[in-house]
Structure 1
C-alpha cells in the first residue's frame, strides 16, 4: 500500500513541477492540517500560523522545480514551514524590541466546562505554559514542538532541523527543564 501512495506522490510532484495547480492542491492537502498545527504551536497565534502556512505553500509553488519526486514531500513542507516560522519569530522579536505590536496577544478561547472557576484556572495555566514555550529560544522550541507536541521521532526531528539525534534529544531535555523551572517558580 505504501508503494502506491509513494508512486502517486511522485506522480503528483512531477505534475506540480510541470505547473499543474490542481496537482499541487492534491499534493499538499493531506499535509495541511499537520503543517497548520505545527505553525500554530511555533507561533502561538492562529492568524500568524495561517499566514505562515500560506506564505510557505506559495513559496513551495513558486520554487516547485526544487521538489524531488524521489523523496517524500512531507519533510520538505515541514522544513519550509519551520523556516517561515523562524522568519516570523525574528520579525516579532525585532518589532518587540522596537516597541511595535504591543497588546496584540491572542485571546484564549473560553472552555465550555460546567465549572467556570476551574475553567478559568485551567485557561490561565494553559496560557502560562504557552507563554513559557513562546519564550524558549527558537532552537529549543523547534525541537520541543516537533518531538513532544507534534509527535515526531527524534530521528525525524533531527532530519528536519539538520542536526544530530543527540542534539535534538539535548534540546528537548533543555526545553523541558527550562519549562519546569519557569512553571515551578512562577
Structure 2
C-alpha cells in the first residue's frame, strides 16, 4: 500500500506523519554529519545565535565553497570518491563500505584519509 492510498483509505494518520517527521529529522542529521565530516560549520556557526539566518555575504561564500567542494569531489579518483560518498553522505559504516567495495576496513580507512587530504589541499578554508 502506497502512502497516498493509505492517507485516502482512512488508515491512521499518526504513523504516516511520524514516518515523515522521522525521515526529515534523519535527513537533517545526515546533512549536518556530512557538513561536519567535510569541515563546514565548526567555527563559523556558534551554538546559540540570535539570528539563525546567515548574512548574504556568508551565503555567497558558503555557496562558492560548496560548489568548489562539489567540483573537487567529482575530480577525486573513483575509489576515493566512492568511499567518501558512501561514508559521509550515505551514512554507512566503514564495515559496510568495505563489504560494498570488496576491500578491507583498513583499505576504506585509507581511502577516506586520502580523499579528505586531497579535499583539504584543493579546498582551502578561509
So what's the TM-score if we normalise by structure 1? 0.37
Query: Does structure 1 residue 156 correspond to structure 2 residue 118?
Result: no
Distance in 1 (alpha carbons) for counterparts of 2:116 and 2:84: 8
CA distance in 2, matches of 1:182, 1:114: 25
Residue equivalent to 2:107: 167
- C-alpha distance in 1, partners of 2:84/2:54? 32
Among residues 63, 68, 75, which one is paired with 1:123 in the alignment? Answer: 63
Aligned position for 2:118: 178
| Aligned length, in residue pairs | 75
Q: Report how far residue 149 of structure 1 moved.
A: 2.1
Which of 65, 78, 83 is residue 143 of structure 1 equivalent to? 83
Q: Which of 1 and 2 has higher RCO (CA within 8 Å, sep 6+)?
A: 2
* Residue 115 of structure 1: how far off its partner (Å): 2.7
Structure with the higher fraction of residues in helix conformation: 1
Q: How does 1:23-62 map to 2 (within 5 A)?
A: none
CA positional deviation for 1:118: 1.8
Q: Is the 8 A contact 2:94 2:105 kept in 1?
A: yes
- The 3 A distance-change label for structure 1 pair 158 and 125 is same
Structure 1 residue runs of 5 or longer lacking an equivalent are: 1-32, 38-112
Query: In 2, Cα distance between the equivalents of 1:153 and 1:119?
Result: 31
Cα distance, 1:184 vs. partner? 2.5
User: Aligned-pair distance for 1:148?
Assistant: 2.0
Cα distance change, pair 180–114 in 1 and its aligned pair in 2 (3 A): closer
Measured in 1, the distance between the counterparts of 2:72 and 2:118 equals 9
